[in-house]
Structure 1
Amino acid sequence: MIFARSRRFVFIHLHKTGGTSFEQGYEPFARWDDLILGSTPHGEQASTYFQRRFGLYKHSGLDEIEAAVGADALEGMRILAFVRHPRARIASLYNFVGGIVLGWAEKHGMTLPAIRADWATLSAQHGQLRWPASRAFIESDDFGGFIRNRHLHYDAAFRSQAAKTRTATLAAEPLRIEDMAGSTILQDLVDPAFVLPHANRSHRILMRSADITAADAAFLADHFREDMQAFGYD
């Protein structure tokens, strides 16, 4: 997330929507009283402290931000969030988590079934294996099993984007990443010289959104019905 006093905006970093790219791209333009949590070396360290001290971290939703800073601090601030089609977002999540788990397996000379069989012991020693999304990947044979795995439904990355970008009194301005090409909204917000990089790419492509089956697409559309309607996806 970004709390930019200098330019009077708040950026909500939703999982797998390009938030890391914006935070890394913004960092060279940040001023001394801007706060970036996550994505940069300093931001990752700050995120750990701010989560422990104030309940704020890289992926804080608007409800958590409002609770931590107070409604008065948000008055007059432009609140923004990148949003993404749920199919593409969850395919990206699958690739990201799968890359981490499979990379760990290769590094330690283990197969996925072996990790599955000894998950309790291994996860106690390796934090990334404890993520609900990681456990869902470990327990699943394919993308369909992953999105239906009960552990994934406890992961913040599988939460509705709409739910994380509004409170009872506030709502973020959604910026669909599919519409960002050719847009000058970020240059107008930050600086004419701002360029949005492409950071945090998935190193393994295990699923492309275009290859998601009709049944799995229908499941995601139902689960993320709120996002589909709120952001005009079909």
Structure 2
Amino acid sequence: MDFVNFEVGSKTISLAILNILLTEQYRNNLTEVPNNNPNFLGAKEFMNVPVPIFDLGRILNNRSTKEFNLKTIEQLQLHKQSLNSWFDSTSNQINPCEPVVFKKWLESFKSQDSDLSIALSKIAESIELLLAKASKRGAVQSDENIEVSKVLTKINQLFDSAIEHIEYTYKPIIIFTTIDDRNPHVGLLVDKVKDNIHVKESDIKGLDSVTSVGFDLDNDTKAMLKGLIQLDGKHSLIIDPAALFKLPDSGSIKLSDLSETA
């Protein structure tokens, strides 16, 4: 069986190639349609058919990747500001309060973006260096003070680079799905294409024993999770677009039906 893997926040999801008609970059150009479903983004014409588009990040993670990114940027800006305020206020008496707070936040932060993770680890390493140099500085140690200022400047630049990376590398895509190999079913907003994989039936594990207990998922979301692929030490969730929403007898979703689904 052939699948395409996509990243959605910290999760990797798999769609069967036969369930994919097309992928295209999301340009925030959807037609707004009144709807009470928080996962519904709007409609996009595809093959002369208005296709409802849903945010898979909100469905699987309870928040969109865009919302997560904005929150991460806000947290990085606050940590940068707090670090500079902390450093200015400590003078010659170093109290590693803010660096400890940042370290704890970094340990709890999860991202599939390896470049961002590397950037954040560089910030942590530079903060450790800052602490080491700052503990030695004094009024007569002008050379050491200059080195401390250089490290602090580098840390601020690393914070700015991490924020810019988040802002400019997020380019989500829409997957136009099908359940009959011909007609569009729904569109799903995901972060990006990860890779293509070919799996055997033995590589796919059932999720019934996992999702039946302790999972806070609505019935529609639980129904669309069809299995877990375990391949080369990596895992991905199989998504069945046909199970995403209850369909009318015609087998296709009408925009007028959206407020009654999911």
Q: Fold conserved (TM > 0.5)? A: no
The structure with the larger Rg is 2
Question: 1 or 2, which has the higher strand percentage?
Answer: 2
Question: 1 or 2, which has the higher helix percentage?
Answer: 1
Q: With structure 1 as the length reference, what TM-score do the two structures score?
A: 0.27
Q: With structure 2 as the length reference, what TM-score do the two structures score?
A: 0.25
